[in-house]
Structure 1
Amino acid sequence: MDILFCDELLQEIFRRLPPSSAAAVALVSRRWRRLLRSSTTSLSLNFPPPYNPTTITSFSSFLYHHPFLSSLSASAAADGGAGDHPLLLSVAASCPNLRHLRLFGPPVSSLSLSNLSKSFLHLSSLSVAVLRPFSLNWLPCFSSLTRLSLSVKNPLPEIDDSELGSVKDSIFDVELRLESLSLSGISQRDYGVAYLWRNCKNVTKLELNCCEGLGDFSSFSDFLRGLMSLKLQSCCFVTGEGLRAVGRALNGALEELSLINCDVVVKERGLLTTLGQDFNGLKRLDLSYNGMLVDKEVVSMLASCDGLVELRLRGCSRLSDAVADAMVRRCKRLQVVDVACCCGIRVQGVEIILLNSLGLRRVEVERNKLSEAAMARVADRFVEVVC
């Protein structure tokens, strides 16, 4: 049976199989294992210690047998040392064609990242952790990079302000090609991040997670132009005036807005009304996990956001069926709705959404909130339900 299939046909079959079947395929024969490896373009690996020469060599050999690998997620413990992890050398030596790299584990030093850039000439996406005080002098070396996810580690009290400030003028300004930028753990005293605000003029998508500041707001205000997607999650630095300033700067150009678990959403009454008017071109809105958010705030925002195709309200437990009613009256183009873990939106509210949103393609909600009429409409219109 094996000889009936040519290499190209087997490789095409392997590409269509789920990742969970890879282990079984590799056991069929040496030929199948070789073809499986040569057809694999994406891997997610967890490489535990100890990190001795034997294990590093084995890791390098494993990667070497995947010549067309373009995407790699690698997770390692801190045993190898924070800054110059030996796994990085293996990846750099064995995966010259890599396009996407995600490194989980200890922070990586600026020197290691500069050295990596010499091996990854085609890398377009990078996710990595760095230590304070951090420098971004390695960033221009990745000439093909368009997506960057940067997580800053170690607490601020251990770092002197003079050290943080020393990185401000340590890099020459060079226009970067970044189009998507994600930052986690940034503080108001991380002045080095101003380099990104000054030199990332092509960024259209910005995501900030667990951030306490922007480093330099004056540079950030200039950076905003051209932004089409803004995602803020658990960011305690956000103020209503700051969000209104963003709205004025973007002049209605924003298409996607996420304010996930942001206290300012419920602390400042009327804020969502203003944002709805400023961002009236929104297509995607995510207000998930704002547990104290009330109907009035959401309904008033939806009045101005009639072009929404995606609305996520997961975990907003105080919202009621009134929001569901406003949703279908105001937002006629909705395709994706997430109202899971919304205790106040009951069976009737979910039924209103499913029966009256004619363009709906996907809804995320608890199964016990689906009435018979709602289930019938789901089957009739091929709506995907995620419970």
Structure 2
Amino acid sequence: MPILSVDLVVPSSSSQPTIVPVPDSPTADLPLESLTLSGILPGHSNLSWLWRGCRHNLRRLRLKSCEGTGDEDDDESFADCLQRLRDLELRSCRSIADRVLLLAADRCRSLSSLLVYDGGSRDGLRRFIARCGPSLRVLDLRLPLDLDNGHLSAAAERFRGRLVSLRLQSCCLVTGEGLKALAEAVGAVLEELVLVNCDVVEREPGLLTSLGQSFQRLKRLDLSYNEFLLDKEVMSMVVSCKGLVEIRLRGCGGLTDASVVSVLKHCLLLEKGDFMQCCRISSEAVGLLIENSPRLGRVFVEEGKVLDTVKCGH
């Protein structure tokens, strides 16, 4: 039988150890701000006491590989604990993702960050976007089921002028049209853009140029694992994104030293860079970046490139 694991985090304001009540004290409030549950099965039905105990203090909830919420005998207990959530994560929870998303949209008045990994149907995501409150700032969708331009257009309308972070991973149905619509709506405020393994940036030449012109306040950019991404696309984007403090290009095997030189030239505030698994980027280019970027504190490259950089005197 799978093990149900619970990670309970005591609020930082409390210096006293917490005694977590068991179902014998079903009405006690738990001083928990963060809760992680994994492996809940449909047959688990004895967690209502936990949800009731969390209804006043819970701010962050993470569900991992769950097929139920453990409240089959008390439908309202789980829903009530969502009211004060600010951060919700659903990882590999396909069978319950739509239900939780709908409850979150209806009950969470202060939700600022949502992460969905491998879950959420087309209708479930659309209903969440249409009904969620105005406080959402971070939208993180990884391996979403059926995410398409319709969702991005709805998000553009719903989160206009508010979304500060958009993270998409492996979204094969999204096209440049949807991303441009979102860029028009949130370009003035967006600070982080993640397009990991999203082949739209490879399929549509000029898309990154357009996005760069819209996201001029961008501080963090992640284009990792777009294997066929070309230098000219990255170069044309960073020209407009002069405020970048972090860039991740891990696994972009098509990029060469030209991209690194462009980053060096235009991203004068850069503090962190990731160039792992970029086989065509040389140690000389890495050394040049390190030597001439005064704010650069962390660089991720293969050990061999670092050794070559040291040998060259950088």
Give the superposition deviation at 1:353: 1.2
TM-score w.r.t. the length of structure 2 is: 0.77
Q: Secondary structure at the match of 2:287?
A: helix
User: How do 1:203-218 residues align onto structure 2 when only pairs under 5 Å count?
Assistant: 203-211=136-144, 212-213=146-147
- 8 A Cα contact 1:233 1:259, kept in partner: yes
Equivalent residues in 2 for 1:229-240, closer than 5 Å: 229-240=165-176
Stretches of structure 2 lacking an aligned partner (at least 5 in a row):
1-14, 25-29
Once residues 171 and 349 of structure 1 are traced to their aligned partners in structure 2, the CA distance between those partners, rounded to angstroms, is 47
Q: Note if contact 1:354-1:377 (Cα within 8 Å) is conserved in structure 2.
A: no
SS in 1 for 2:90: strand
For 1:181, give the aligned amino acid: L
Q: Does 1:316 align with 2:252?
A: yes
Identity of aligned residues (%): 40
User: Is this contact kept in 1: 2:284–2:309, CA < 8 A?
Assistant: no
Q: CA deviation at 1:322?
A: 1.1
Question: What SS does structure 1 have at the residue aligned with 2:181?
Answer: helix
Distance 1:210 1:298 in 2: 24
| Cα pair distance change 1:219/1:272, threshold 3 Å | closer
Q: TM-score, normalised by structure 1?
A: 0.63
Select the structure that is richer in helix. Answer: 1
Q: 1:314 to 1:172 in 2, by over 3 A?
A: closer
* 1:241 matched to 2:177: yes
Larger Cα-atom Rg: 1
Q: Check if 1:339 corresponds to 2:259.
A: no
2:234 maps to a residue whose letter is V
- Structure 1's 351 and 199: CA in aligned 2 closer, same or farther, altered over 3 A? same
C-alpha contact (below 8 Å) 2:220/2:245 kept by paired residues: yes
- The yes-or-no answer on 1:103 pairing with 2:63 is yes
What is the aligned length?
286
AA paired with 1:179? Answer: S
Q: Gaps (5+ residues) in structure 1?
A: 1-37, 44-56, 62-66, 118-137, 156-163, 379-387
2:234 is matched with 298
**Residue 121 (structure 2) aligned to one of 187, 198, 203:** 187
Corresponding residue for residue 224 of structure 1: 159
Shift of 1:147: 1.2
3-state SS, counterpart of residue 197 of structure 1: helix
Within a 5 Å distance, the mapping from 1:1-387 to structure 2 comes to: 70-76=33-39, 81-82=41-42, 84-86=44-46, 88-89=47-48, 91-92=50-51, 99-109=59-69, 112=72, 114-117=75-78, 138=79, 142-151=82-91, 152-154=93-95, 176-184=109-117, 185-188=119-122, 190-191=123-124, 193-211=126-144, 212-213=146-147, 219-225=154-160, 226-371=162-307, 374=310
1:356–1:60 distance in 2 versus 1, CA, 3 Å: farther
Q: What does the per-residue CA deviation read over 1:327-349, in whole Å, with 9 as the maximum and x for residues that have no partner?
A: 11110000010111111112111
Once residues 172 and 239 of structure 1 are traced to their aligned partners in structure 2, the CA distance between those partners, rounded to angstroms, is 26
CA drift of 1:314 comes to 0.6
CA contact (8 A) 1:351 1:371 kept: no
